[in-house]
Structure 1
Amino acid sequence: MGRPRTFDEEAILDRAMLLFWRKGYEATTMNDLVDELGLGRGSIYAAFGDKHRLFLLALGRYLGRQDELLASSFDDRSPALPQLRRLFERLLQTDSFCSGSGCFSVNSIAELLPNDQEVAELARRSLRKAEETFAAQLDRARLSGELAPTISPAEAA
């Protein structure tokens, strides 16, 4: 029986996410992870699996936060287009958080697709959710007269 974990898995995932975000998947070595996370290789493997699995968990965490941001950014009482603008400002703020490294999901897609199907599926799910959310908000804008009726919310999203 192994020892109980004495570290905060959520905090470790956050640190791994930031490391992968800064360096990219391929450039991040297990030694980098050991140094950044302050855990031994055995602890990393036991808690998170191999480097790829840890990367998927970190990317999933990032995308989950993006999904939460989308879900919490809109209400039915305020004008739709200003809400969309505020969301884009918040997304840009989030992506500037990591020393100008850009968007973690876009960077991951550019680096690992088309060969990594697990990253592709995470990205597809997240992009589909974002598109649906944007389409719903744009449809609300069209119905309220904020958006020209000739603009298709689905296409614009």
Structure 2
Amino acid sequence: MNAPSFAPSLLDAAGVDPDRARQILGEALAGADDGELFLEKSESEAFVFDDGRLKSASYDSGEGFGLRVVAGETAGYAHAAEISEAAIGRAAASASLAKRGYAGVSAEGPRSTNERLYGEDDPITSPAFSDKVSLLQEIDAFARGRDPRVVQVMAS
């Protein structure tokens, strides 16, 4: 089986050595037909501007992973809401139970598709918070300036 490739930035940001993650995954997949490790990190923010003032601003972030090991007709799944070597190790031990009593041969792995689709720009950090609020103020002023009958503007 070909060694999987990871987005080093996710593993590195979580303090996990990519080579160690490959080793753990390799051990979990040894003797299995297929498997994968899926890493995810997401961030979001939202602003609500109503009646000429900022009513709410929120920020959310999350990370985690899923691990799958397939042996014949059996699939083992494990996941965690944190990316750490310990969590990946625990998940590998659980998911690799799908191999119990199985003596299959690994197929060649699929062609790598880890293509970078986005640039380095991070919309959470740039533009700045104050610039985002200013934009909402401009939208509010623009809408109110279009017609004196506008009495309420809500932008988010």
TM over 0.5: no
Larger relative contact order (Cα-Cα within 8 Å, sequence gap ≥ 6): 2
Structure ID, larger Rg: 2
